[in-house]
Structures are given as C-alpha cells and as structure tokens.
Amino acid sequence: MSLATPHQGDLIKTPVEILPSTAEKKLQSWIRTRHVICSRNFFIFETVDYSALERFSECITALGGTLISVDSIGKVWIGYHRQVILYRAKASLHTPHHDLRQYWLKCGSFRTRFDQQV
C-alpha cells in the first residue's frame, strides 16, 4: 500500500491573520515607495508582483477595509528585454481610527511609480 503525496493544487492555503499595526506599517512603506496613492476615498495600489496584491488585500482587510477591484492595466519594461504585467488594486478604507490618508498627504505622491511607464 502506497501513500500518494498531495499535488500542489490540493494544498489548502490557510489565510494568515495580520495585525492592524503591522498592516498600517506595510501600507505606509508602500506609500513611501509610491506603490500606494490615495484618490478621493480610495487607496490605489500598483505592482508587477501578483503576490503583493494578496498582501495588500490582507492589509486592507486587517484595517477594516474592502478590496474593490483588481485589474491588469498594461505591461511595463523590466530592464531592456522583458515586459511584465502591471496590476492595479482599488480598495476602500473608511475606518476612523487610522491616519493613513494624512500619512499619504505628508509622505506620498499623486502618481504611482509606474505612471510614466504605462
């Protein structure tokens, strides 16, 4: 009798709980690196790393917000010989206890790091 090993697709991914303080610090770092901008009442996140979208979603959820949409918005050049897909996520964050909007006004930008490349 042999035991079959599970296939990669058979593994169940358990969600990792992230603390709100950790989520806020991560969003602040994305604001400083111009991956996250604020547009009206929404936070817009742009990245070429799809796993970063999952981390962004976890951070937004930990702070009581909602991920509204994720779209591929084009391709950007990485180096001289390779293009990668650029993703944009839009999230709503209407919790009164955080000050991420004020942090964005102080340390952020109105354009993401990818605005000139698309």
Could you tell me if residue 88 is inside a domain? yes
- Provide the domain limits for residue 64: 20-107
Render pLDDT for 45-70 as a digit per residue (tens, 0 to 9): 999 999 999 999 999 999 989 999 99
Could you tell me if residue 8 is inside a domain? no
Q: How many domains does the chain have?
A: 1
Could you tell me if residue 4 is inside a domain? no
> What pLDDT is attached to residue 22?
94
> What pLDDT is attached to residue 110?
92
pTM over 0.85: no
Could you tell me if residue 112 is inside a domain? no
- The DSSP result for 57-81, as a single string, is HHHHHHTT-EEEEEEEEEEEEETTT
Could you tell me if residue 76 is inside a domain? yes
> What pLDDT is attached to residue 95?
62
Could you tell me if residue 27 is inside a domain? yes
Answer whether 87's CB lies under 8 Å from 44's CB.
Answer: no
Bridge partners (DSSP) listed for residue 38: 43
> What pLDDT is attached to residue 29?
96
| CATH for 91 | 3.10.28.10
**Positive or negative torsion for Cα 38, 33, 25, 57:** positive
Could you tell me if residue 53 is inside a domain? yes
> What pLDDT is attached to residue 97?
61
Q: Could you report the average pLDDT of every consecutive run of 10 residues in the chain (118 residues)?
A: 46 66 94 92 93 95 93 90 93 78 91 76
Cα–Cα distances in angstroms (integers) from residue 98 to residues 10, 21, 77, 87, 101, in the given order:
38, 10, 35, 25, 8
Could you tell me if residue 92 is inside a domain? yes
Of 118, 102, 114, 96, which Cα lies nearest the Cα of 44?
Answer: 114
